[in-house]
Amino acid sequence: MKDKANVAVLVSGGGTNLQAIIDAVNSGIITSAKLQIVISNNPGAYALERAKNNGIKTAVITKKECGGAEAFEAKIIETLESEDIDLIVLAGFMSILSKNFTDRFPERIINVHPSLIPSFCGEGFYGLKVHEAALAKGVKVTGATVHFVNEIPDGGKIILQKAVEIEEGDTPEILQKRVMEQAEWIILPRAVELISKEITGG
């Protein structure tokens, strides 16, 4: 039995959710996981800098370099297997993974989505679009959801959710920031710890 679950974080952009996980490891919120590698499909992702600043191994794998989606996924799988990864965290990873990929890692891939699933989720709902839709609908409460990933966008089993109040005068940008601070950055590290503990039998 491993002491700690080996975690891979897949990123495409700034890596604020990655930072929340790094901070949770450093502060002792996460004790059952080791951040083994950060994989990006964007060579310019600032998330890679965050990983390097914290001594975490990085890899850049792009569809263009691999020559297509299938080879791209195969290369990611090869990398995950060579690093003996137990848990895959999608932290702003802007690429939909195929059924072939998700079936290889059942209940071992998690994602954070910036709404309370089943609201404002599924294909086309990502980033600011989620918050724009929530505000357009006039909901009073939104939040974030950590869920397992399967072949359906945002379709996997829910692990954790946290609600966030919508306030007068909210713009999509303001709301996005509040949902990150009050929900995403709290429940994503919690979910990483929860599942890693299960994996290690802790």
Distance of CA 170 to the CA centre of its chain: 25
Contact 146, 111 (CB under 8 A): yes
Instruction: State the number of CA atoms in the 13 A half-sphere of 169 facing the CB.
Output: 0
Q: Which one of 4, 113, 131, 178 is the catalytic residue? A: 113
Contact 125, 114 (CB under 8 A): no
Which amino acid, one-letter code, is at 195? I
Q: Does the annotation mark 131 as catalytic?
A: no
Closest CA to 78 of 65, 92, 95, 61: 61
Alpha helices in 28-83 (DSSP H): 46-53, 63-66, 69-82
Q: Which tokens go with 16?
A: 């604020």
Distance of CA 14 to the CA centre of its chain: 12
Instruction: State the number of CA atoms in the 13 A half-sphere of 137 facing the CB.
Output: 14
Which amino acid, one-letter code, is at 52? K
Task: Provide the annotated active-site residues.
Answer: 113
